[in-house]
Amino acid sequence: MRIEAHDVLIVVDVQNDFCPGGALAVLHGDQVIEPIHRIAPRFEHIVLTQDWHPASHASFASAYPGKQSFETIELPYGVQTLWPAHCVQSSRGAEFHPALKLPQAELLLRKGFRPQIDSYSAFFENDRTTATGLAGYLRARGLKRAFFAGLAYDFCVGCSALDARRLGFDAIVLRDACRAIGLDGSVQAIEAEFARSGVQLTDSTELAELMG
Ligand code: VGL
Ligand code: ZN
């Protein structure tokens, strides 16, 4: 697959809390960094997302006495999985992994900062209607095709790719540059949605050189 000038690499949530030792560690989460570094020089445009929650966030199990992490609850906007407190604003866990070196990234997009709404997708919060502004940013800059890498494959990466399709962008997930949380068939579920929505899956090794 050939990378072109209107392509963007969206690197999702490569933060300490999603890496080994973090509050919501994804198995081998830090292993996404090597493939991301390998492909990043091929892209003219890179966006980083950062999960960025207030200390008491509606997605944290600690907000609901008697509830455990990874259980689900009903919030006004629908079913929400409860998570251990993670990516709290200005905490070390919320920082990008120190090995991630992408100084050329053009936009750092924070999400999940509204106390009452979680945000998996880089485009819409979990109420499916509150926009982050990323779609407008990509359109204003003429970026039409988004490649996705990072954490977690079955949550924030997957939801971002699905929303990209919903908004009319081409969406390609670089499978080997992602790692999954894996909760109750979440990987199968997201891949079924990919197939339905036209999200493409490929590996970073299939990417050809940047066009001039
Ligand atoms: C994520 C669960 C909660 C993710 C973020 O980055 O996939 N998952 N917050
Ligand atoms: Zn989160």
Residue 189 Rama label (left phi>0; alpha psi -120 to 50; beta): alpha
Quote the ligand 2 centre to 124 CA distance (angstroms). 13
Taking ligand 2, which is a single-atom ion, which protein residues have CB atoms under 5 Å away?
A: 51, 112
Q: Residue 63 in 3-state DSSP?
A: helix
Q: How far is CA 47 from CA 152, 159, 195, in A?
A: 16, 16, 25
CATH, domain 7-54+96-211, list 3.40.190.10, 1.10.8.60, 3.40.50.2000, 3.40.50.850: 3.40.50.850
Is 87 noted as a catalytic residue in this protein?
Answer: no
Ligand 1 atom nearest the C-alpha of 156 is: 7
Quote the ligand 2 centre to 138 CA distance (angstroms). 23
Ligand 1 pocket test: pick from 18, 159, 178 the residue with the most ligand atoms within 8 Å of its Cβ: 18
Task: Determine which one of 111, 154, 159, 163 is catalytic.
Answer: 111
Task: Determine which one of 7, 13, 17, 118 is catalytic.
Answer: 13
pLDDT above 70 (res 32): yes
Quote the ligand 2 centre to 7 CA distance (angstroms). 26
Ligand 1 pocket test: pick from 10, 11, 12, 13 the residue with the most ligand atoms within 8 Å of its Cβ: 13
Nearest alpha carbon, ligand 1 atom 2:
155
Question: How many whole angstroms separate alpha carbon 182 and alpha carbon 174?
Answer: 17
Q: Which residues line ligand 1 at a C-beta cut-off of 6 Å?
A: 13, 18, 51, 83, 120, 151-152, 155-156
Q: What is the pLDDT of residues 58-70, one digit of tens each?
A: 999 999 999 999 9
Domain boundaries, the chain: 7-54+96-211
Question: How many whole angstroms separate alpha carbon 186 and alpha carbon 153?
Answer: 9
What's residue 212's pLDDT? 46
What's residue 208's pLDDT? 75
Q: At what angle do helices 186-197 and 158-166 cross, to 10 degrees?
A: 20
Q: What is the pLDDT of residues 142-176, one digit of tens each?
A: 999 999 999 999 999 999 999 999 999 999 999 99
Confidence band for 80, pLDDT divided at 50, 70 and 90? very high
Q: What is the pLDDT of residues 100-150, one digit of tens each?
A: 999 999 999 999 999 999 999 999 999 999 999 999 999 999 999 999 999
